Amino acid sequence: MGKRQYDVLVYGATGFTGRQAARYLDEHAPAGLRLAIAGRSVTKLAELAGSLRRKEVGVVVADSASPDSVHAMCATTRVVCTTAGPFALYGTPVIEGCVQHQTHYCDITGETPWVHDMIARFQTAARSDGTRLIPFAGYDSCPSDLGAWLIAMHLRTLGEDTLRVDGFHAGKGGLNGGTLATMMAMGEQGRLRDAEQIFLLNPDGEPSAKTALDSVDQRRVFFHPRAQRYAAPFFMGAINSRVVRRSAALLAAEGAGYGPDFVYQEYFGTRGWLAAQLVNLGVHASGAMSGNRGARALLTKLGPKVGEGPSEAAMDNGWMKSQFYGVGSAGTAVDAEVSGPGDPGNRVTVRFLCETALALASDEERLPKRAGFLTPATGLGAILVDRMRARGMRLAIH
């Protein structure tokens, strides 16, 4: 990677999440870091730049409808940090440009079929050139990926493989228009069935029949003794579980996997059976609605529009708590927690995304010696854990 004009560039910076990311980096990035914002509207970009405390923020005009402009944008910076979704509609030129110019990359997508397609097209070139690409660097799927990684690393210090990790998620937050648009786009593109493939993001290699059976997406309610809660399907489970499984598979290919029969599942936990059944019904109904044209039109009409989202006060008053229950090959039980303040899909997502971007830009010497399409755990691991702890989040074994 040659000399670049910027260190970190936020693409989609005038969108709802992009504005938050630009402000976060303006506040938390080191003084010497060269920050840029990018998007389609020079007027909106200039307005955003003028609202930031830093007076030397670069402004780059780029539009995914003109891939050459996006490729040129990628050549100006060492790291692209993008919030411009739906990524299946707007993200491919960014990946192309980053791979072409050996620019590191991170995003907040939850679109597993699109990432699968990008891996198939660009993994070989990115890996050979040393380009790091880290999708899923928001609430999708950092808590899950790092929670499972913490347990597996702890069990390794005890000389045990990890047999299984179960994740439970809780939180308080709101939906922004970009997230809703992504959900609707996956249904419109007919990719919901693709997303159901339980090892969609894994590199080549078949898991054992038992591992495959134990990894099938949960579709019923049951009582989980370790968590002491009723377990219902979690609406992001079909995203997060694929990312965790990719982490385990990438590490296994290096001879440092979690365990030969590693299983990861995750749930939404409730204290009561009826509440869990209602959650289960809601998850299945939302999936069915995403796949129905009429329902998508209704949800789009009633939900927040692109560029809209919860109020600042609502996002500040949100919270998230993810708890993980692991078991080692010798029967050792290990629990972990990833938790913190702020709306999960907005404040927490932005915190994870921006700290990922800063790690790629500032921690070059400490980064794992891996390249290509990585996960938060395999691309950053302990570096991201340390950064999030420094920003007031709890990531711990207990």
In 3D space, the residue among 227, 238, 345 whose CA is nearest the CA of residue 276 turns out to be 227
**Does pLDDT of 175 surpass 80?**
no
Q: What sign does the CA torsion over 315, 310, 243, 78 have?
A: negative
Quick one: pLDDT band at residue 215, thresholds 50, 70, 90? very high
Model confidence pLDDT, tens digit, residues 184-212:
666 677 777 888 999 999 998 778 899 99
Quick one: pLDDT band at residue 370, thresholds 50, 70, 90? very high
Q: Where are the domains of the chain?
A: 6-139+347-397, 142-343
Specify the pairing of strand 222-224 against strand 229-233: antiparallel
Query: What local confidence, expressed as pLDDT, does residue 377 receive?
Result: 98
Model confidence pLDDT, tens digit, residues 97-124:
999 999 999 999 999 999 999 999 999 9
| Mean per-residue pLDDT, 322-350 | 97
Which class in CATH covers the domain with range 6-139+347-397? alpha beta
Instruction: Give, in order, the Cα–Cα distances in Å from 129 to each of 75, 137, 244, 362, 371.
Output: 15, 22, 25, 19, 8
| Mean per-residue pLDDT, 241-258 | 96
Q: Which region among 17-31, 96-110, 203-217, 330-344 has the lowest average model confidence (pLDDT)?
A: 203-217
Query: What local confidence, expressed as pLDDT, does residue 55 receive?
Result: 87
Taking phi first (over 0 means left), then psi (-120 to 50 degrees means alpha), and beta for anything else, what does residue 255 get?
A: left
How far apart, in whole angstroms, are the C-alpha atoms of residue 266 and residue 217? 9
